Amino acid sequence: MSVADKELGLREALRSVIDPEIGMNIIELGLIRSTDIYDDRAHVTMIMTTPFCPYAPQLLEQTRRVTQDFLGVPATIEMGMEMWDPSMMEDGAAADWGLF
């Protein structure tokens, strides 16, 4: 499987990680900012919808576990400092949320 295929598959797998406060998955919300997949490890950078998200530890750990389980290699998750805004959401997701 190519790295591009692994990345696409990982993004699909990460749809199982739901932000409990918003009720949408982290892919729809645009929280995954980058994925680096290597033969022996993976590194994901993600952000939260708010700087003091009470679910951040849970979301980071769940993202790490899903990444590791899907790829079969150790995974690290980095919390990026980029500020989230609704324009980062997947096309159409903001409409479902009533934003646009």
- Domain containing residue 8: 3-86
Residue 15 belongs to a domain:
yes
Mean pLDDT, the chain, whole residue set: 91
What count of other Cβ atoms lies within 10 Å of the Cβ of residue 34? 11
Record the tokens describing residue 98, joined without a space: 């009533």
Cβ atoms of 25 and 19 closer than 8 Å:
yes
Residue 62 belongs to a domain:
yes
Residue 13 belongs to a domain:
yes
Residue 42 belongs to a domain:
yes
For residue 40, what is the domain's CATH number?
3.30.300.130
Return the sign of the alpha-carbon dihedral for residues 45, 51, 53, 54.
positive
Residue 57 belongs to a domain:
yes
Residue 43 belongs to a domain:
yes
Once rounded to an integer, what is the mean pLDDT over residues 90-99? 67
Residue 94: the pLDDT is: 67
Supply the pTM of this predicted model: 0.89
Q: Into how many domains does the chain fold?
A: 1
Residue 94 belongs to a domain:
no
What are 35-80's pLDDT values in tens digits? 999 999 999 999 999 988 899 999 999 999 999 999 999 999 999 9
Distance (Å, whole) CA 96 – CA 3: 31
